[in-house]
Amino acid sequence: MTFSSALTILTDSLIALTLIYCIVLERRIRAFRRQEQTFRSLISDVSESTRLAQGAVSSLRHLMDEFSKTNLATSKPVTADRYSSEARFEREEQSRRPGGADNSIAALAARVAALRKS
């Protein structure tokens, strides 16, 4: 075997290895691009969810403002202590009455209806 034939075999094998490595890299790039598309989709979904959540928070703030205006207009004090003591009283009453939970739900529905009317 001469030097030129050995050099040719070495060159051909390096070219073959380079082609194989190019094929491997091309497959990895395709997989990366597929994942990139998935991540872009995920990011747009998260962005949309965030936008919807911000709208919901804004609506809740508006609702709370209306609620506080309504209660201030009817001169009913709105305090956490009042509601917590009412809830405790309801629980105590509920344990004493037969059919407790159903009556409590009806009482709550009546209160909500009264607030809506005023």
pLDDT reported for residue 24: 97
Q: Is residue 43 part of a domain?
A: no
Residue 10 binned pLDDT confidence (cut-offs 50, 70, 90):
very high
Q: Is residue 64 part of a domain?
A: no
pLDDT reported for residue 74: 60
pLDDT digits (tens, 9 = 90+) for 32-51: 988 888 888 888 888 888 88
pLDDT reported for residue 7: 93
Domain containing 95 equals: 79-118
CA-CA distances (angstroms) from residue 93 to 36, 48, 50, 80, 82?
59, 46, 42, 20, 16
Q: Is residue 86 part of a domain?
A: yes
Q: Is residue 59 part of a domain?
A: no
Q: Is residue 85 part of a domain?
A: yes
Q: Is residue 53 part of a domain?
A: no
pLDDT reported for residue 101: 47
Residues, the chain: 118
pTM equals 0.38
pLDDT digits (tens, 9 = 90+) for 50-104: 888 888 888 888 888 888 777 665 655 555 555 566 666 666 665 565 554 455 5
Single-letter code of the amino acid located at 39 = F
Contact (CB, 8 A) for 118 and 70: yes
Q: Is residue 117 part of a domain?
A: yes
Number of domains the chain is built from: 1
Q: Is residue 88 part of a domain?
A: yes
